[in-house]
Amino acid sequence: MSNYHIKHLEEYYQVYRKSVNNPESFWEEIAEEHFLWRKKWNQVLKWDFDTPEITWFEGAKLNITENCIDRHLATRGDKTAIIFEPNNPDESAEHITYRQLYERVNKFANVLRDQGIKKGDRVCIYLPMIPELAISVLACARIGAIHSVVFAGFSANALATRINDSSCKIVITSDGSFRGAKTIDLKSIVDEALTDCPSVDSVLVAKRIQTDVNMKDGRDYWLQPLLDAASEEGKAEVMDAEDPLFILYTSGSTGKPKGMVHTTGGYMVYTAYTFKNVFQYREEDVYWCTADIGWITGHSYIVYGPLCNGATTVMFEGVPSYPDFGRFWEVVAKHNVNQFYTAPTAIRALAKEGVELVEKHDLSSLKVLGTVGEPINEEAWHWYDDNVGKRKAPIVDTWWQTETGGIMITPIAFATPTKPTYATLPFIGIQPALLDENGTEIQGNQVDGRLCIKFPWPSIARTIWGNHQRYKDTYFSAYKNMYFTGDGALRDEVGYYRITGRVDDVIIVSGHNLGTAPIEDTINEHPAVAESAIVGFPHDIKGNALYGYVTLKETGESRNHDNLRTEINQLITEQIGPIAKLDKIQFTDGLPKTRSGKIMRRILRKIASNDMSNLGDTSTLLNPEVVEAIMDNAL
């Protein structure tokens, strides 16, 4: 039996037992038999959740791009590695073979080398979903530079914060991006960000929307001429298994975004292994994950996991609604997609448009459907199952996080019987635990608690860039010897897990993590605002939307509330990005606070959710009278 490819439920249980009884020998065998190493490791695993310090395959040498590209050249040189599907359906799709990918990554790597980028340097990539994004990610990995991809929907301010946090030396961007019927001038956002980024020496600019942009002499270079002049051959840098591969920022409940650091060897092994099994990818399949490479889903399951398996992976530049809400299904039919992986928020938005747009397209190629990013509600699950998968394609509801690098709790397609809204069973090697508020592990089934992981897995983030203490405090201090996920979960009678949502002050809106504190800080910067509190409330399409309670410095009718609402959302768009805009803003004379001055978000959450029947105990409040007023004026 091959432990690399699991096909049945009994096999899953058997391999799972092996992986938790003897994790080191289990992962050693997987790593040894299915990947290309320049030198083997001295030790498979060292870990201490207290320090915390975790290493996998210590002492091993490799380059992840040799695993993603070079090793396929002999047998898959002419196979399509990446299908690029442009925003505009009238523009032809591009098929990039493994050999072409090899050449293009080498050229890009040589351009970076010529710019003076060396192993360990940080490279910020701020690009739309065009081939240069995947290629620049791989080019960084080829030369050992640490990529930090920033989603191209973030504002100049958010971009600058991320560039400065990890002192990036170079920014890779484009003149602009297409998004449905709109274009966005990315280069001018970069220019604005760079007024305050002293570490950046140069900017490489890809041409996409053919617009005039400002090019700063001695700093900005058009990418294409440099690529044209570069050699398509080049050696891959030999990396240590524990050398950082990338930094990816994720929101915390407080403070600035956390630069999660992923390293090379363990991340490669785990993302490749999960990809193969969760989606049951077979050699001739075409796989499509609709995420953006700016998020972890794109890193692990558009780029590294699929390419490591020699897969054909689709990169889609557009949006689900352009030119109409049938675009996803048109692309599935056009490229004969076999595995399709998207977010519940997209499913809900498409379901709202009716089944006619689905039925117009031939979806018979689909074998496996996936979802990720937030809990999927039962209605959306069934809509996906009935109309897209025609009840023949299993839905893999994959739970994981930026911090976990790869999928953690999930069905294995065709092996694990699915259950609507359940992420089902831990993946191979993953040891979940549910804890109560006192930190005691809850045994048995039909229970719920805080979701923790008891044992390291190969792709766990190793630190937060520049702030190991925060890494320790956020993930390893809540419960002793446990990685704390920040999520709540329940375990049903057969041991299936259902993720119930965040238990901290992170709110997931349309699958994007948003911390409340950074948004509140932004609102409080408005000169008229005294104080604010943000909570989530259920939203039909986004899963959650944001509700802001805002108190003003001067009360009364002196300011137009509608104007203020617009200004507040404008400020949020500038400082963070449009994804963090508030759906509702209620102006109030006060916020409910405990005697120690803490805002009682529990009450605000209930009011925002229109669930005011049982607000719980309000007697401990410093100012119980404001609750009445807030309820009376709730939006």
Q: In the complex, which residues of this chain contact ligand PRX (CB under 6 A)? A: 250, 296-297, 372-375, 397-402, 423, 485-487, 499, 502, 508, 513
| Cβ–Cβ under 8 Å, residues 499 and 487 | yes
CB of 344 to ligand PRX, least distance (A): 8
Distance CA 4, CA 31 (A): 10
* CB nearer to ligand PRX: pick between 89 and 389: 389
Torsion of CA 34, 39, 42, 48, to 10 degrees: -70
Give me the helices (H) in 279-326, please: 296-298, 305-308
Structure tokens at 591: 């916020």
Range 43-63 burial, b when 16+ CB lie within 10 A, else e: ebbeeebeebebbbbbebbbb
CB of 139 to ligand PRX, least distance (A): 24
* CB nearer to ligand PRX: pick between 502 and 601: 502
SS3 469: helix
CB of 410 to ligand PRX, least distance (A): 8
CB of 346 to ligand PRX, least distance (A): 13
Asked whether the CA dihedral 315, 317, 319, 320 is positive or negative, the reply is negative
CB of 498 to ligand PRX, least distance (A): 8
Comparing every residue's Cβ against ligand PRX, the nearest one is: 402
CB of 317 to ligand PRX, least distance (A): 20
Maximum separation of any 2 CA atoms in the chain, in Å: 75
* CB nearer to ligand PRX: pick between 85 and 397: 397
Chain mean position to CA 494 = 29
| Cβ–Cβ under 8 Å, residues 424 and 412 | no
CB of 275 to ligand PRX, least distance (A): 13
Backbone angles phi, psi at 85, to 5 degrees: -105, 110
* CB nearer to ligand PRX: pick between 155 and 345: 345
Give the helix/strand (H/E) hosting 177.
strand 177-179
> Is residue 471 packed enough to be buried (19+ CB in 10 Å), middle (13-18) or exposed (0-12)?
buried
* CB nearer to ligand PRX: pick between 111 and 499: 499
Q: CA-CA distances (angstroms) from residue 108 to 135, 246, 612?
A: 7, 17, 57
Distance CA 614, CA 235 (A): 65
* CB nearer to ligand PRX: pick between 247 and 568: 247
* CB nearer to ligand PRX: pick between 211 and 377: 377
* CB nearer to ligand PRX: pick between 295 and 455: 295
* CB nearer to ligand PRX: pick between 41 and 475: 475
| Cβ–Cβ under 8 Å, residues 559 and 541 | no
CB of 504 to ligand PRX, least distance (A): 9
* CB nearer to ligand PRX: pick between 86 and 406: 406
CB of 248 to ligand PRX, least distance (A): 9
The contacts found for 180-189 with CB under 8 angstroms, 24 or more apart, are 180/87, 180/318, 180/319, 180/321, 180/322, 181/322, 183/209, 183/211, 184/128, 184/152, 185/211, 185/213, 186/126, 186/127, 186/128, 186/152, 187/213, 187/214, 188/213, 188/214, 189/126, 189/155, 189/156, 189/159
CB of 408 to ligand PRX, least distance (A): 9
In 481-526, beta strands by DSSP E: 483-491, 497-502, 506-509, 512-515
| Cβ–Cβ under 8 Å, residues 297 and 310 | no
Among residues 508, 445, 431, 506, the alpha carbon closest in space to that of 474 is found at: 506
* CB nearer to ligand PRX: pick between 225 and 538: 538
* CB nearer to ligand PRX: pick between 269 and 296: 296
Among residues 48, 150, 6, 37, the alpha carbon closest in space to that of 456 is found at: 48
Q: CA-CA distances (angstroms) from residue 543 to 32, 347, 375, 376?
A: 42, 11, 8, 8
Strand partners of residue 124: 148, 171
* CB nearer to ligand PRX: pick between 317 and 397: 397
CB of 300 to ligand PRX, least distance (A): 8
CB of 46 to ligand PRX, least distance (A): 25
CB of 485 to ligand PRX, least distance (A): 6
